Amino acid sequence: MKRGSLLFLIACVPLASGCEGSGEERGAIAGELGQGVFYYQCATESDGQCDEKAVRGEVDETTGSFPSVAVGGEFSIEYVSNTDQGANATYSLVATSDFVTFAETVLTAQATGITALVATDVNGYAEDLAHVRFETATKIRVSQTETAEQVDTGFAGGVSANVGGTDIEIDVGSTLNLPGRSFLRVVPTTDDGRILAGALPCTWSTGTPDAVRIVSSASNNVVDVEISGPGQLVVKLGDLEQTVVVGGSTP
């Protein structure tokens, strides 16, 4: 079985619509016509859905498919055919720009709704389909993680993410006493706390660089910071912003 590039006809349907689908592993969804498998892939390292040691979004109950993707989030979908023609089939990507745009294999969610992903062959015939739901992120979940080891997560483009060994949500409404070397992770969520997939633009900054210094890339959803005294971090994730107040460091 050969994994090729993609061809999808993408169209949004009403949010009340529902579809059956299942996958043998997280991120793998059997096509609704039984002709192949759709794989969720992260477009960049700022999508926590491909952070294997993080708490990640669950399968959307409405579609029975992938976790909901945040509006504005980037992601990729790979389709693998299990039919006889699948081994030699060539696929491309087509999208309805009102709801999703694409650049090569990277899709960007544009509006709320449930989107049908239809895999078609070179002749334009539909082979299989799956659905994905787009939702607006309204909150930022901040968690603490112990390390920042490199792992191979299979992102589009072959990049890897800094991921940690423990993912514990922290109360951003309180002043935090964190270890002198800390790793924080942010992901987008809904009002009821459901984690959304998709890579949103992420920027970390500090108003107190002498006390709270950013060591790693400030554009990754996982940040490495050195803490020597009281200060604060500000993270922007898409259109959302959250301040993390640090009271000092613990041994």
Residue 96's pLDDT is 62
**Res 55 pLDDT > 50:** yes
Output the pTM of the full model. Answer: 0.80
DSSP code for 71: T
How far apart CA 116 and CA 9 sit, in angstroms, is 8
Q: CATH 2.60.40 spans which residues of the chain? A: 139-250
For the chain, the straight-line distance linking the first and the last C-alpha, in angstroms and rounded, comes to 52
Q: Catalogue the E-assigned strands of the chain.
A: 8-13, 28-30, 36-41, 69-70, 74-81, 100-103, 106-109, 113-120, 126-135, 139-145, 149-151, 161-163, 168-169, 176-179, 181-189, 202-206, 212-214, 222-227, 231-237, 240-250
Residues 148, 57 contacting (CB under 8 angstroms)? no
Averaged pLDDT for residues 233-240: 95
Q: 250 has which bridge partners?
A: 179
Q: What's the CATH class of domain 139-250?
A: mainly beta
Query: Among 244, 164, 155, 147, which Cα is nearest to 204's?
Result: 244
Which of 125-129, 194-198, 228-232 holds the top average pLDDT?
194-198
**Res 86 pLDDT > 80:** no
Averaged pLDDT for residues 188-205: 95
Averaged pLDDT for residues 211-228: 90
Residue 25's pLDDT is 40
DSSP code for 64: T
